[in-house]
Structure 1
Amino acid sequence: MGIEPTDGHGFHPEDIIFLLKGHVKKGYKFNPAGPISESSAHFRRNPEFENQTHCVIFVMDAKTIYYGIPPAYVQKISYLQDKIKREHIPMVLILTKADQLCNEVERDITKMFWSGKVQEAVKTASEVFSIDQESIHPVKNYEVDFNIETKTNIPLLIALRQIMQYAANRVERV
């Protein structure tokens, strides 16, 4: 379940806010129709620091970004962005399937950062998600590849390193 463009589908936005703040206990079954209530057995009234989120990672198909996100989706994302920024939680966006935007990148993953289509997807994602471009990581999925490729792993590892740095920085600040 993710953030879906229509109401009643995907995570309820308030559940995500409660989750970020550490109020949702393990075992809670997310319900798109309504958020967790404070009377729920899975609601943590006084979350500890370790229960809170220290970095938010959005994952989005690069083709969806490049060819246009439905306005209702943008609306939910904007709502969440506002709440996440109020909590001062760093954000990273992983753009999956970025190699599928361009034939040249599909043939040679090392061309990803020079592709105009990938750069356009990163720029659009930055505007939609209100995330700096340096926090947006286009990557190739392991969909049909059975062999682990160093060239494919490098963008993934760069993203992971940044996520770990952002989380560590937030832990140090708080």
Structure 2
Amino acid sequence: MVNTALASAVNYEGTSFTKKYETHKIRKETWGSFYPFVFNDIMGLEEGTGRGVRVDDIKLAMKGHVMEGYKFNPASSLSSSDSGYNPTPSNDDKVHVLVCVCSGNAAEISDSVLQKMREIREAASDLGIPQLVVVTKLDEACPETEKDLQNIYKSKLVKKKMTDLSSELGIPLNCILPVKNYSQEISQHPDCDMLILNALKLILDFGNDFIEKF
């Protein structure tokens, strides 16, 4: 268990805790050795205008134009004249899989956020980038799942949440993956790991397919 990507236990007025464009690597058991994939974390989408990451910035990030450490500005998008703009992105700078992370225990996604998500998904589709949704905190939303995580695919409530997301975003149900956050645990749990590794495997499979295709 690691803590490379900082998180907040409290969501203040629906604002994103992440402010910068950050790359996270997964270290192997050997010190200084990493797996051959990375996660790029961004500021979250927020309801309304002038809040959260801008859709145009996500489009630029997918094309590799956003440099490491760039601090997102909800009021204006990154431009080619800014210091955080990468004018000549390499293939390693570009996004190979778009992963949207949603909370299964939150209120329904607002229309404005859904519209942003659809626009981002359309831009990713134009670039040929595969898309997945990871739904977190479903154990907090469903008592059956909280009692036994192995019930997550048996829960009618979990199925409804995933089906609703599929309908709202147009993403196939088999591309919507439930996971449980490590929130209270201080050691690894095999049921948590099973869900996380299942999601990771599909992300890597989609990424490999994209690389081979383009």
TM-score in same-fold range (> 0.5): yes
Equivalent in the alignment of 2:128: 88
Aligned equivalent of 2:210, options 162, 170, 173: 170
* TM-score in terms of structure 2 length: 0.77
Equivalent in the alignment of 2:141: 101
Q: Which moved more, 1:71-80 or 1:42-51?
A: 42-51
Equivalent in the alignment of 2:55: 13
* TM-score in terms of structure 1 length: 0.94
Larger helix fraction of residues:
1
Provide the secondary structure at the position in 1 that maps to 2:101.
strand
Matched, 1:157 2:203: no
Matched, 1:57 2:99: yes
Equivalent in the alignment of 1:134: 174
Letter in 2 for 1:10: G
For the aligned residue pairs, the C-alpha RMSD in angstroms reads 1.2
Q: State the Cα distance separating 1:37 from its structure 2 match.
A: 0.7
Larger strand fraction of residues:
2
In the TM superposition, structure 1's runs of 4+ consecutive aligned residues that sit over 3 Å from their partners are: none
Any stretches of 5+ residues in structure 1 without a counterpart?
A: none
Letter in 2 for 1:11: V
Any stretches of 5+ residues in structure 2 without a counterpart?
A: 1-42
Letter in 2 for 1:20: M
Percent sequence identity is 29
Q: Which moved more, 1:38-47 or 1:105-114?
A: 38-47
Equivalent in the alignment of 2:64: 22
Equivalent-residue separation in structure 2 for 1:48 and 1:151 (angstroms)? 37
Q: State the Cα distance separating 1:147 from its structure 2 match.
A: 2.5
Equivalent-residue separation in structure 2 for 1:98 and 1:27 (angstroms)? 31
Provide the secondary structure at the position in 2 that maps to 1:143.
coil
Equivalent in the alignment of 2:81: 39
Equivalent-residue separation in structure 2 for 1:84 and 1:34 (angstroms)? 21
Aligned equivalent of 2:185, options 135, 145, 170: 145
**Pairs aligned (count):** 172
Equivalent-residue separation in structure 1 for 2:111 and 2:58 (angstroms)? 20
Provide the secondary structure at the position in 2 that maps to 1:84.
helix
RCO greater where, 1 or 2, for CA within 8 Å and sep 6 or more? Answer: 1
